[in-house]
Amino acid sequence: MVQIFLSSAVARRLAKAILLVALVCALQFPLHAGSKGKNTNAPTENWVMSLDGGRTLTWERTFSIETDVKPVKGFWTKVFDFVAGAPDLRFLVNPYSVTTDSHGRILITDPAARGIHIFDFTEHKYKFIQHLSRDGMGKRDLRTPQCIAVDASDNIYVTDSEAGVIFVFEPNGKFVRTIGSLKGGEGYFKRPTGIAVDSAAQKIYVTDTLKDKVFVLGMDGTILQSIGKTGSGNGEFNLPTELRITNNQLLVVDAMNFRVQRFDLSGKFLNAIGSLGDSPGSFFRPKALSIDSEGHIYVVDSLWGMVQVFDEKGQLLYHFGERGIHAGEFQLPNGLTIDRNDKVYVVDTFNRRVQIFQYKGVHETAKGELR
């Protein structure tokens, strides 16, 4: 009887504790009538640019942590987290490059975290990809992931500036192989940075920033061609970074020549966009670029905290952004991509976030980047 009495007392205390926890959570996380399905990630700021010809650019949202992609937690999940402790969450530490795949997933490299964040707002899922050798000390560890691309099958290609190779993963994040590895484990490239995949032509384009070249590879990693050399003339580079292929063209950010160069896919120079300066139409720290459905070229300038938009001839169409922490403001932005729906993703590195904008043009024929 004593044992039963004690057990009952413990049970009553436990029930009171649960009730107390529930009350605390209810006070801390109140549930309002009609709040079911409420989108807590809805924009809290309004930012719209009206452009020529009825075009618009509208800020949609920002995200930075894995909970941004997941459904709103229910009451009892909050109670459980309160009792057991909230789980450790992944967040953007030093995001650098961004791309999207055919399912709308957003993939972001993070050199400080030594991995790749994948945000899936359609399926409300988050994934973090790392690759370490079995002992964690191998020469093929993912060390400093830089730029990222996907092929037509959504396989993931990531340049690693420290390892000197390209890492390849399946869409689910399973490691497949490295490209550019030499005997002894070191990489062929001095500093691989920008990368793009042309699945139709079965080619991979990668910039080697320290060699001042663009290498064209077969899908097996065989070097088919190199474009450029050190210099400031047409077709020459001074620390090239990101690149894109689109509409039978290759565009390369020629960072320390303060310009973007356009080539055809054979490597023939077409023209250059931009020059050194501190006014719109010129660059100081160009970092990344992308192309919308109308063929407009978007270029991130990290130092000025802005994105400039040009036509193929190099004429400035408009620019957006300034230094700051609010919608449409950036601090040291680095990455940029535009998906087939003309959503513009800007990696706002120092603010540790990605901002999404929606561009609405007047043409229905999509160009976009090759995969």
Between 260 and 1, the higher pLDDT residue:
260
Cα separation, 291 vs 355, in Å, equals 17
Amino acid letter at 156? I
**Which pLDDT score is estimated for 9?**
52
State the residue for tokens 């050399």. 229
Task: Work out the burial of residue 179: count CB atoms within 10 Å of its CB; fewer than 13 is exposed, 13-18 middle, 19 or more buried.
Answer: buried
Taking a C-beta distance cutoff of 8 angstroms, is the pair 253, 260 a contact?
Answer: yes
Name the residue ranges covered by the structural domains of the chain. 48-73+90-360
Question: To the nearest whole number, what is the mean pLDDT of the chain?
Answer: 86
Q: At residue 86, does pLDDT exceed 60?
A: no
**Which pLDDT score is estimated for 186?**
67
Q: Mean pLDDT over residues 109-117, rounded?
A: 97
pLDDT in tens, 343-354: 999 999 999 999
Q: Mean pLDDT over residues 27-37, rounded?
A: 39
Q: At residue 4, does pLDDT exceed 50?
A: no
**Which pLDDT score is estimated for 42?**
45
Amino acid letter at 354? V
pTM (predicted TM-score)? 0.84
Percent share of the chain, pLDDT over 90: 73
Taking a C-beta distance cutoff of 8 angstroms, is the pair 127, 169 a contact?
Answer: no
CATH architecture of the domain with residue range 48-73+90-360: 6 Propeller (2.120)
**Which pLDDT score is estimated for 181?**
83
Residue 354 is inside which H or E element, if any?
Answer: strand 353-360
Cα separation, 164 vs 144, in Å, equals 9
Cα separation, 317 vs 297, in Å, equals 9
**Which pLDDT score is estimated for 185?**
65
Closest CA to 116 of 131, 128, 101: 128
pLDDT in tens, 155-214: 999 999 999 999 999 999 999 999 998 766 667 899 999 999 999 999 999 999 999 999
**Which pLDDT score is estimated for 66?**
95
Q: Read off the pLDDT band of 362 (50, 70, 90).
A: confident
Helices (H) and strands (E) in the chain, counts: 2, 25
**Which pLDDT score is estimated for 134?**
63
- Cβ contacts of residue 222 below 8 Å, gap of 6+? none
- Report DSSP letters for 55-119, one per residue: -EEEEEEEE-BGGGGSPPPPHHHHHHHHHH-PPP--B-SS---EEE-TT--EEEEETTTTEEEEE
Closest CA to 255 of 242, 268, 265, 246: 242
Cα separation, 284 vs 307, in Å, equals 12
Q: At residue 101, does pLDDT exceed 70?
A: yes
Closest CA to 338 of 314, 370, 363, 305: 370
Least confident of 61-75, 242-256, 268-282: 61-75
Q: Read off the pLDDT band of 70 (50, 70, 90).
A: confident
Query: What number of other Cβ atoms are within 10 A of residue 49's Cβ?
Result: 15
**Which pLDDT score is estimated for 312?**
93
pLDDT in tens, 36-67: 333 344 456 899 999 999 999 999 999 999 99
**Which pLDDT score is estimated for 47?**
95
Cα separation, 298 vs 317, in Å, equals 10
Cα separation, 159 vs 288, in Å, equals 14
Percent share of the chain, pLDDT over 70: 78
- Report DSSP letters for 259-310, one per residue: EEEEEETT--EEEEE--B-SSTT-BSSEEEEEE-TT-PEEEEETTTTEEEEE
